[in-house]
Amino acid sequence: MIPAAFDYRRAGSADDAFAQLQKLGGDARVLAGGQSLIPAMRFRLARPSVLVDINGVAELDYITMNGALTLGAIARDSAVERASWIGERGWSLIHDVSRVVADPVVRQMGTVVGSLCHNDPSGDWPAVALAARAEMVVRGKDGQRTVPIDQFLVDSFTTAVQEGEMALAVRFPAPDDRTAGSYQKVERKVGDYATAAAAVQVSLNADGTVRGAGIALSSAGPCAVRVTDAEALLKGQTPTADLIRAAGEAAAKQSDPQADLRGSVEYKKNLAGVLVSRGLRQALARLGVQS
Query: Where on the chain is the footprint of ligand FAD (CB under 6 A)?
Result: 29-37, 39, 73, 101-102, 106, 110-111, 113-115, 117-118, 120, 123-125, 161, 166-167, 191, 193
Is the CB of 148 or the CB of 212 nearer to ligand FAD? 148
- Cβ contact 167:73 at 8 Å: yes
Query: How near is the Cβ of 69 to ligand FAD at its closest, in Å?
Result: 17
* Residue 162 burial (10 A CB sphere; 0-12, 13-18, 19+): exposed
Helix or strand run (H / E) with residue 138: strand 135-140
Q: How far is CA 268 from CA 33, 119, 255, 259, in A?
A: 30, 20, 9, 8
Q: Choose between 29 and 269: whose C-beta lies nearer to ligand FAD.
A: 29
For ligand FAD, which is the closer residue by CB, 125 or 183?
Answer: 125
Sequence length of the chain is: 291
CB-CB neighbours of 71 under 10 Å: 29
Is residue 256 within 8 Å of residue 221, measured between CB atoms? yes
Q: How far is the CB of 56 from ligand FAD (least distance, A)?
A: 14
When the beta carbons of 3 and 191 are compared against ligand FAD, the nearer one is 191
- Indicate the residue among 36 and 184 with the shorter CB distance to ligand FAD: 36
CA angle centred on 102, ends 100 and 106, rounded to 5°: 125
- Which CB atom, from 91 or from 250, has the smaller least distance to ligand FAD? 91
Minimum distance from CB of 20 to ligand FAD (Å)? 12
Alpha carbon distance 146, 62 (integer Å) = 18
Q: Closest Cα to residue 188, out of 262, 117, 86, 84?
A: 262
Closest contact distance (angstroms) between CB of 33 and ligand FAD is: 3
Q: Tell me the closest approach of the beta carbon of residue 144 to ligand FAD, in angstroms.
A: 13
CB of 95 to ligand FAD, least distance (A): 16
